[in-house]
Amino acid sequence: MTDAGRSAGPPPRAEVCETHSAIVFFAGDRAYKVKKPVDLGFLDYTTRSARRAACEREIALNRRFAPDVYLGLGEVSTPDADGSEPLVVMRRMPADRRLSRLVRSGAPLDDVLRAVARRLAAWHAEAPRGRDVDDQGRRDALAARWEASFAQVRASGGGEGAVPEGVPEVERLVRGYLAGRERLFASRIAQGRVVDGHGDLLAEDVFCLDDGPRVLDCLEFDDHLRYVDGLDDAAFLAMDLEQLGAPQAAAHFLACYGEYSGDPAPPSLWHHYVAYRAFVRAKVTLIQAEQGTPGAESASRHLVSTTLRHLRTAAVGLTLVGGLPGSGKSTLSGALADRMEATLLSSDRLRKELAGIPPEESAAAAYGEGLYTPEWTARTYAALLDRAAVLLSSGESVVLDATWTSTELRAAAQKVAERTSADLVALYCKVPDEVSAMRLRARATGPSDAGPDVAAVMAATEPAWPEAVTIDTSGPLESAASRALATVRPWGTGQAPVFRRPYMEPD
């Protein structure tokens, strides 16, 4: 041995990281992953041929996301081994560039998350598609996955009476959302939004390098779990960012993904998928809690709470805002729709649209005449509810601005809500007579044509509306809007981040 060789000393020991199914050795600029000879039910690596096939599969699938990281298949053998053991040979990533570490350190995240979103959207644009992939994006397939998780949580809780707090509400909200949303999930498939994706997008496996992100360790043991809506794939990382204490980063990432993918999904679907990912992790932590893992029980409660916040926000609602002319119902409807990110439909505007009249053009007439005959009113409300039904079944919450002075029309709205599994809330705007009279006298020409005489007749014939919550709209708009929002969403907004869909130019 040369003097140089003697002074070099022994080689540094390899670092080791162990998961439930693999052991990873880090040495120099390489990482080597060996599959454990285990049978976990959902995967079976008990034979060398199975482990080799799993390594080859992992390399092929992950090269889609990080081709320069997954270098190839290697082998290792020891004197007492019966043959060589297959392993995945990888380029070692710098630990200080893990996204999870950047989040915990408080590093700026906007640019790196934008880069990850761009990379994910680019992959989804080119990802394999097909009938088998589409089948996993159907509403019933998602419902089956939810139901399987419910059954596992109940089994881990020891039975019906021992489920964690909040799980029954999770079940109710999930079933309600999915029951009325067949059109939404069918449209996702028709748009090609269901892809062979990553399936396990954790911040721990994303490395933010100077020349772009490297996304590692996709789900390889079950193709069906990797066949997901692209938004579901992105929601996995958003959920993980929330659990790392960065809800605004989660919202920013999903907004960037929506921008780069051109995804028109309603915010309700974003929240639903984040809730789904949080509940799956809650299920896993409940199992870990049974096994005595420290902190797992507390973590599972937090994850169920996260699931609930998102499901409550995702709930699709039909809000009727009624009242006599001059009551401020249109102003309140607009303010409420803005706060809820709901679609606003107005009977006044739709009536004139059906008649081919610009909304600002006057069509004033005596009560029950002109465009305000019973026939015109029936036609207007039928179109109003038809449009609402389409939006509700597509995952959009709707605010309907109309007088709702007919019990038959209120009953028709109730049927639409039931058919689309939407939460129905009725609000009745009320002000003192002198306030409404003053407003009507000062009103400029616009979508509403009702004057003081029409308002007086309507007030004399209006039936009671006991189901509606009365909102005093004589004071500041903010006060009335806050009361209305608290009625529609009594749980509040919690800590669920606001997911705003990207602006896209119309076709």
Give the Cβ contact number of residue 28 at 10 Å: 9
Res 27: pLDDT = 92
**Is pLDDT at 59 greater than 60 in this prediction?**
yes
Rounded Cα distance between 175 and 170, Å, is: 9
Res 445: pLDDT = 73
82 and 128 fall within a common domain: no
Res 391: pLDDT = 98
122 and 58 fall within a common domain: no
Of 77 and 416, the one with more pLDDT: 416
**Is pLDDT at 499 greater than 70 in this prediction?**
no
**Number of structural domains, the chain?**
3
Share of the chain above pLDDT 90, in %: 75
Residue 43: give the domain boundaries: 11-91
pLDDT (tens digit, 9 = 90+) per residue, 222-252?
999 999 999 999 999 999 999 999 999 999 9
Q: Residue 401 falls within a domain, yes or no?
A: yes
Res 268: pLDDT = 96
440 and 300 fall within a common domain: no
- Please write down the HEC assignment for all residues of 385-427: HHHHHHHHHCCCCEEEECCCCCHHHHHHHHHHHHHCCCEEEEE
Please classify residue 8 by burial: count the beta carbons closer than 10 Å to its beta carbon, then call 0-12 exposed, 13-18 middle and 19+ buried: exposed
C-alpha distance across the termini of the chain, in Å: 74
397 and 443 fall within a common domain: yes
Res 1: pLDDT = 34
What CATH number has the domain bearing residue 174? 3.90.1200.10
pLDDT (tens digit, 9 = 90+) per residue, 374-406?
999 999 999 999 999 999 999 999 999 999 999
Last residue of a domain, one of 62, 91, 120: 91
Res 158: pLDDT = 53
- Mean pLDDT value across residues 15-26: 88
**Is pLDDT at 3 greater than 60 in this prediction?**
no
- Band (pLDDT 50/70/90 cuts) for residue 276 is very high
DSSP 43-93: -B--SHHHHHHHHHHHHHHHTTT-TTTEEEEEEE--TT-SSPEEEEEEEPP
Res 331: pLDDT = 95
Rounded Cα distance between 356 and 377, Å, is: 15
Q: Residue 388 falls within a domain, yes or no?
A: yes
Q: Residue 424 falls within a domain, yes or no?
A: yes
- Band (pLDDT 50/70/90 cuts) for residue 6 is very low
Can you count the helices (H) and strands (E) in the chain?
20, 14
Give the Cβ contact number of residue 24 at 10 Å: 19
- Mean pLDDT value across residues 325-339: 95
**Is pLDDT at 129 greater than 60 in this prediction?**
yes
